[in-house]
Every structure is written in structure tokens, then in C-alpha cells.
Structure 1
Amino acid sequence: MEKLVSSWGNNVKSVPESYIFPPELRPGNNHKIPFNTSIPVIDLSELENDHHRFQTIQTIVKASEEFGFFQVINHGIDINLMKETRNVMKEVFEMSDEYKRKLYSEDPLKPCRLHTSRPTHATDGNQHLWRDYLNHPCHPLEEWQHLWPQNPTKYREYVGACSVEVKKLASRILRLISEGLGLKCEYFDKELSGSMLVSVNHYPACPEPSLTLGVSKHSDPNLITILLQDYVSGLQVLHHGQWIAVEPLPDAFLVNVGFQLQIISNGRLKCSDHRAVTNSSDARTTAAFFVAPLLDCVIEPAQAFIDEHHPPLFKSFKYKDFRSYYIAEKGDTEVVMKSFLA
């Protein structure tokens, strides 16, 4: 598989030219920066205590306003399930080239496919990402699970079980955000969070991590993202113009605000730019669960945030139109956001 970095990346001593980013876009010395402790870590077990519940919800809302990111611990998902899911996902990229060839597809409409760089790989020119990924829908589970890889043999079992639990966690967090914003508790239920896609991202060790990127700067197009992290670091968030590194806490999930949550909150919550850097010693494998509206769902600022002093900042649109434009513009936050301003 000449296109998959996982098939040849370990055999090169320098980054091929088509993976070298321009100086203004490459991470340079920022590919390795100290962890930042200001991104909140929220203990969801505190919600069981009436005294701490209000404060915990306010912390979630504040984190979503200031960073667009927070981590959750004591979230209720079995730690062993998380471990087994991580392991079986890593196995996908360790399979033979013959097997990966069967999974590989350049058809963006194929529901389950192994690919490299990003969906626009064929037209990316000299800006390929140091990443392979496996994409497939995972909600409703019974609708999609039969299309997933049959090997590794436990893939469907563990990823299926984890997907169900992550969807429950996402719904729980969205209800807490609704409560904190003063919306009806079930505001984000049904159509607004009716689909979920998982992207299993694999970043092989890279000989020159200062020159390339695993994922370039972007904000997520969906509603909310739940990230199952590796123990290897690599995620960086742009905060007040500076890149800050996110520590991958054992047994935590990372949560981040997507474009749709920013739009529905009329700009109160923040979808922040982030990127993935590589390193020279360890491969990194993560799973991003993208909770999103159904394609025909109409998105617009919630009426609760609009009055004579607070006009709608964004226009009304169908999610599928936003998603198509986002992909065409390669996730460029400024271009995308400007096009949907009221």
C-alpha cells in the first residue's frame, strides 16, 4: 500500500517532500511543547452530589466558552473496554498490506473505508498529512456494524460496545450543557445529535516531526466530539494565538465543541482550532467520535439566545450544506465561519 504512511513510514529516514509543510504552517520547534494544565479536567462523579452539581455544570459551560475543550474523568465507561478498544484499533494499522488494500478506498461515499491524509488527498498537492485513518458511522449501531472490518476479530465487538457507551456519554454531556445554558434538558436530543461517526486516526512515528503534521489546524464541523486518547501525546489547541499541548490523561475522554454547538449557542460556546503533531519515537492512535446532526437537520441559533440586544450571529442552513462546504474548504475555520454569518 504505497499511499498508506503506516505501510512505509518506518522505512524512511527523512520526510518525503509531499509531506513537508510550508514554514508558516509546519510546527517547527512547537511539535514538542510542555503540557498545559489550564484545560479543565472535570470529574463527572461530582454530579451525584447536589452540592457540587451546579458548580460542575458551570465548569463545563465555562470550559466550553473559554477553551472549547475539557477532559472528563469518572465518566462511567468501563476502563477495560477503553483499553481493549484502543488495542483493537491499533491492530488495524498493523495488519498486512494485502488486508489493508481491501479496506482502502478513495471513494468518500463509501461508508467504511481506510484512507490516508484527508478526504481531499488526491488534490492536496504537496501537503499530505502524516496520518492514516479508518472512518465509519457507528450510530445507530445496528445500521452500520455489519459494514465494519471483520478483522481484527474483536473489532466489531469492542468498537461497537465502546460506541454505544460514548454516545450515551455525549448525550449526558449535551444535557448538562443544555441545563447550564438554560435550554430544555433534551434540546440536543434526536435530530441535532442523530448521527455519530468514528475516525480512528493513526500517526506513525515520524523521522522529522518539525516539518509535517498529523492533522492540520481546523475546528470540527459537527456538534460535539468525544476523543478516546492514546497514551502518546500529540494534540495541540490554539488558545489566544498560542498552541498549547493537551496531556493525554489515562482513562479520561477529551470533549470538544464543534461548529454546530457554537452556532446554536449564538457564539457563546467556542469551537477552537486544534491540530495533531507527530513525534520521532512513538506511533499514536486515537478515536474521534463525531456526534452530529442528521444531514437534513436545520441548524440555527436557539431562540433562547436571541433578543433585541442579541441578534442571530449565524444564518439558518441544513447541516448537509455546511458539511459539504466544510470539506471543500478543507476545514479552514475563518473561511467556513464567514460564509455562515448572518
Structure 2
Amino acid sequence: MALLVSSWSNGVQSVPKDYVMPPERRPGDFVSACNEIPVIDLQENPKIDRSDIVQQILKACQEFGLFQVINHGVSEKMMEDMRVLYHEFFNMPVDDKLRGYFEPWSTTGCSLYTSGVNYAKEDVHYWKDTLRHPCHPLEEHTPSWPEKPARYREEVGRYAVEVRKMGFKILDLIGEGLGLNEGYFNGVNQYQTMAINHYPLCPDPGLAMGIDGHTDPNLITFLQQDQYGLQMCKDGKWMGIDPIPNAFVVNIGYQLEIISNGKLKSAEHRVVTSSTTARTSIVTFFGPNAGLPIVVEPAKELVTSTSPKMFKSYQYNNFIADYLAYIRKPFPPSGTPLDPYRV
């Protein structure tokens, strides 16, 4: 069993050699924050036409594949409660945290692991610990969640419900912008899971990475962050995403790019470490259930003579298997996991 980074890294003076990234995978020079990333206000306002919000979101999805939302319906108190809860969780004694240590991509239970999805075969490790568990339907999954802190299941359960409401509100706005029928994504998104990533203080952020550049394989991702560390790649350049108090970062995944027939773009992103501030991000993933034979393909409404089909139809469980095989390779090949699915 690989020990959690947070169990041994406090006070270390140098990065262990198996956490030192090769030069081409290091974060590089200082990356300035990007002020162009859209911040979209979802608060209902009679002075703002709904179509304006729809177009803001659609433009952000097309240009960046990523945006931030405020006034989204998840209360400030609930978001603060999550910050406090996970600070407490990752500062518990390691024996209290390690109640389960399973396959990181398990769809049935809770897992707590370090680095990436293939620790034993990694050429170098990431400077992070991750707690991951499914959260819909709640009654099926809460029994596998952590028992400590004692309020965990109650508070995280309420949070998962509110994030789900926000998520479908945003998906409906995206669907409206694409010209899809109302509720289109209800049939695509059967799965919701959370991943809480903890990045402890790192003695030399120039040598280590929280996680390499990647694009999410799911439908759409909602990120609560309170400390800087998230960066995205646009036009071949990395740019920083400064946290906005009580905002969510919304990140387009591969499945939404495919369903939109390439009209929306998934965002490549990564996380850098810090020598001054530990960072904990609370991530919620929406997507198809890989345990079911669900077919994903470009929406038929978006395939026309002038916009031909860009991606093949496929079963989502096959896509996830290919995606995991791709990212588990010690040295991923050129291209992207999407390439075999292009027409």
C-alpha cells in the first residue's frame, strides 16, 4: 500500500526522487492568471434575458471549454461547511482516513488513494491524495462513505443534492444553446461522483506536479476551489484560474464535446503545487454510468449536411476502458483518447 502524501510530507525539505517530474512534465515558469475566463451569473433577474445567459455559456464552452459560475444556488454556508469538513478529514490520523483503499476508479464504493490511477506502474508520482466516491442515488452509496468525521454522510449528502440541481440547471442552459430538446441530458447523465483532491505543501513546486495536463472523460465537471493551483491550456499556453469566492469552475468533458458534434470543446487542465499553501479541491463529475450499456453519439439534431457527424457511436463503458488504458501508460502516446472515436 502506498502511503498518502499527506501522511509523510509535512516538514520534508526536498521532493523525493520518485515525485520529481522529468523536465518536459514540470510546470515551467510562472503562469499568470487569465482575466478572460468568463464568470457567469446564474441568479434569476428580470432585467437579464435568459437567452443572454444561454449565449454567454455557449460562447464560453466554445472558446474555453471552461467557465466559472456565481449565484448558482448552492449556499455559501454549505460551501464553507465542505471546506471545513475536508480540512478536518485530511488532517485526521492516517488510520482514521484509511477505512478503505480500493481501485481508484471503482463505481461501487469509496476509495482513498495517492497520486494517480496506476501508482504501482507510474514512472513518477503526483503530489496529491484523493478521496473518491459515487453519490447518486444517495441511498445506494452513503453506506460506503467515510464514518469520520461523524457528520460526513449527512453534510456531503446535502451538498451532493444541491450540486446536482445546479448541474442540471447548467446542462439545460447548454442544451438550450445547442438547440436540443428540454431535458435532453437527463437521459445521458445517470452517474454522479465526487473526487476530493488534497495537495499538501510541496518543498519545491517547480519539480513536482499535482496532476498533469488532461481532459475529463465524463460529461461535465463542477469544481469548488479556494486556493490557486488550477491551470488550463488555451492555444498552446497555460493560464492560471484564480479562485472566486463561492464560485464553481465548470469544465466541459469529452462526452459533451462528442454529443455537441464538436461544437463545444473540452478543456485541458492541470494542477500545480505550492510551498506556502495546501490546497483541497472538491470536484463533482456528471456522466453516463460505465456499468450500463449506454450508447453515446453526436446528438442527431446537430448532424446535418453542412455539419456532418464528427464522432462514431460507441458504448460508454468501452470509451472508459480505452481512456484508462491510455492514461495508465507510463508514457502516453501522442494525440488524445478521442482520436479512435473520430469519424
Which structure 1 segments of 5+ residues have no match? none
What is the aligned partner in structure 1 of residue 17 from structure 2? 17
What is the aligned partner in structure 1 of residue 238 from structure 2? 243
**For residue 36 of structure 1, what is the amino acid of its counterpart?**
C
Secondary structure at the counterpart of residue 256 of structure 1 = strand
* Alpha-carbon distance in structure 2 between the residues aligned to 1:123 and 1:218: 18
Provide the TM-score with structure 2 as the length reference: 0.94
Change (3 A) 1:107 1:224: closer
Secondary structure at the counterpart of residue 327 of structure 2 = coil
Change (3 A) 1:234 1:167: same
What is the aligned partner in structure 1 of residue 227 from structure 2? 232
What is the aligned partner in structure 2 of residue 132 from structure 1? 129
Are the aligned partners of 1:89 and 1:155 in contact in 2 as well (CA < 8 Å)? no
Secondary structure at the counterpart of residue 102 of structure 2 = coil
What is the aligned partner in structure 2 of residue 98 from structure 1? 95
Are the aligned partners of 1:176 and 1:185 in contact in 2 as well (CA < 8 Å)? no
What is the aligned partner in structure 2 of residue 28 from structure 1? 28
Q: How does 1:37-76 map to 2 (within 5 A)?
A: 37-45=35-43, 47-49=44-46, 51-76=48-73
> Structure 1 residue 335: deviation in Å?
3.0
Percent of residue pairs bearing the same amino acid type: 44
Q: How does 1:1-342 map to 2 (within 5 A)?
A: 3-30=3-30, 33-45=31-43, 47-49=44-46, 51-106=48-103, 108-109=105-106, 111-125=109-123, 127-190=124-187, 192-229=188-225, 231-295=226-290, 296-330=293-327, 334-342=335-343
Change (3 A) 1:280 1:251: same
* Alpha-carbon distance in structure 1 between the residues aligned to 2:38 and 2:208: 29
> Structure 1 residue 280: deviation in Å?
0.2
> Structure 1 residue 96: deviation in Å?
0.6
> Structure 1 residue 219: deviation in Å?
0.2
* Alpha-carbon distance in structure 2 between the residues aligned to 1:168 and 1:301: 25
**For residue 277 of structure 1, what is the amino acid of its counterpart?**
V
**For residue 204 of structure 1, what is the amino acid of its counterpart?**
P
> Structure 1 residue 108: deviation in Å?
4.6
* Alpha-carbon distance in structure 1 between the residues aligned to 2:63 and 2:142: 37
* Alpha-carbon distance in structure 1 between the residues aligned to 2:104 and 2:284: 21
> Structure 1 residue 21: deviation in Å?
1.0
> Structure 1 residue 158: deviation in Å?
1.3
* Alpha-carbon distance in structure 2 between the residues aligned to 1:98 and 1:57: 47
**For residue 245 of structure 1, what is the amino acid of its counterpart?**
G
Change (3 A) 1:301 1:106: closer
Change (3 A) 1:48 1:189: farther
* Alpha-carbon distance in structure 2 between the residues aligned to 1:297 and 1:2: 34
Are the aligned partners of 1:85 and 1:155 in contact in 2 as well (CA < 8 Å)? no
Are the aligned partners of 2:104 and 2:113 in contact in 1 as well (CA < 8 Å)? no
* Alpha-carbon distance in structure 2 between the residues aligned to 1:79 and 1:106: 33
> Structure 1 residue 95: deviation in Å?
1.0
User: Which consecutive segments of 4 or more residues in structure 1 shift more than 2 A?
Assistant: 47-52, 100-110, 331-335
> Structure 1 residue 90: deviation in Å?
2.0
**For residue 336 of structure 2, what is the amino acid of its counterpart?**
V
Change (3 A) 1:326 1:280: same
Secondary structure at the counterpart of residue 136 of structure 1 = strand
**For residue 275 of structure 2, what is the amino acid of its counterpart?**
S
Query: Alignment length, in residue pairs?
Result: 336
Are the aligned partners of 1:64 and 1:70 in contact in 2 as well (CA < 8 Å)? yes
* Alpha-carbon distance in structure 1 between the residues aligned to 2:74 and 2:336: 37
> Structure 1 residue 311: deviation in Å?
1.5
> Structure 1 residue 51: deviation in Å?
4.2
CA deviations 1:158-189 (Å, max 9, x no partner) are: 11111100011110000000111111111101
> Structure 1 residue 36: deviation in Å?
1.1
Secondary structure at the counterpart of residue 10 of structure 1 = coil
* Alpha-carbon distance in structure 2 between the residues aligned to 1:216 and 1:186: 34
Secondary structure at the counterpart of residue 139 of structure 1 = coil
Please identify, of 34-43 and 106-115, the stretch whose mean Cα deviation from structure 2 is larger.
106-115
* Alpha-carbon distance in structure 1 between the residues aligned to 2:103 and 2:64: 34
* Alpha-carbon distance in structure 2 between the residues aligned to 1:28 and 1:319: 35
* Alpha-carbon distance in structure 1 between the residues aligned to 2:65 and 2:104: 32
* Alpha-carbon distance in structure 1 between the residues aligned to 2:97 and 2:131: 10
> Structure 1 residue 12: deviation in Å?
1.2
Please identify, of 59-68 and 3-12, the stretch whose mean Cα deviation from structure 2 is larger.
3-12
